[in-house]
Amino acid sequence: MPTFKITVAYDGTDFVGWQRQAAGVSIQGLLEDAARELDERDVAVIGAGRTDAGVHALAQVAAFTLTRRISAGTVVRALNARLPDTVRVAAAEEVPASFHPQFDARRKTYRYRIWNGDVLPPFERRYAWHVPGTLDVGAMQRAARLLEGEHDFAAFQATGSDVATTVRRIFQSRIADCGLRIDCGFPTAGPESAIRNESAIRNPQSAMLVYDVVGDGFLRHMVRAIAGTLVEVGRGRQPAEWMSSVVQSRERGRAGRSAPAAGLFLVRVDYE
């Protein structure tokens, strides 16, 4: 009974999120339906984590076990033949049966994209948050860096969440100014491509801002809440140092509102 680790990319706009639900189409549900056809039995597909409705992924990781012997290449072709074009299995590999995509993960990288121009290009409406008006990107960059390290991130957790601990370690929290390069920060580019531009001087015509955050785990809506809080700083409503007081408060009401799901991408899951 081979166990496969798969890497999945998807446009989350039209789905209820990763997790199978009673109503609506989910990524997990689509994969399980496809695997059922492949193995002629119910197959449980376990993901590295849940993405919410409307959130995208470049490299979500999942795993499942089949009863039939099949090659990794055949798994990719067979699943993609049964999935919609907005969901693609990019790679597959056979792994030990003990592999768990969630519990074995060491770090995850998320990206949030903000279009800071007067007019949102129509082809960006599904993949960025439109925030018109002047933003102080330097202040946003300073605020983002204050999140690096181990902290209690309860202030950025969705109301009603139930987890054992809200302490997480953030290895990198950076925001970059990409100017009018609409390709910058799109998930086809790695996270380092945006971070290299972090110190760029802001051009008055600049539009695309990219927030990259790497951590050992994330709470529900955490990245979106951080993005909303960074925009509060960028708009001058709060100083950069306010970010630290929000973290220390552990109160969701002290942080900014959650940014829309459309701008969020799961970029990568690392296991070493």
Q: Give the residue numbers annotated as catalytic, written as ranges.
A: 52
Cβ neighbors of 40 (< 8 A, separation 6 or more) are: none
Closest Cα to residue 58, out of 3, 107, 12?
12
What gap in Å lies between CA 37 and CA 47, rounded to an integer? 19
Q: What is the DSSP letter of 216?
A: S
What gap in Å lies between CA 131 and CA 168, rounded to an integer? 28
What gap in Å lies between CA 235 and CA 140, rounded to an integer? 9
* Cβ–Cβ under 8 Å, residues 113 and 213: no
Q: What is the 3-state secondary structure (H, E, C) of 176-189?
A: EEEECCCCCCCCCC
Closest Cα to residue 267, out of 224, 214, 227, 226?
214
Please compute Rg for the chain using Cα positions: 19
In our burial notation (b when 16+ CB lie closer than 10 A, e otherwise), range 136-171 reads: bbebbbbbbbbbbeebebbbbbeeeeeeeebebebe
Q: Which SS3 state, helix, strand or coil, does residue 115 take?
A: strand
Closest Cα to residue 147, out of 229, 34, 260?
229
Q: What is the DSSP letter of 260?
A: P
Report residue 214 as tokens: 């790497």
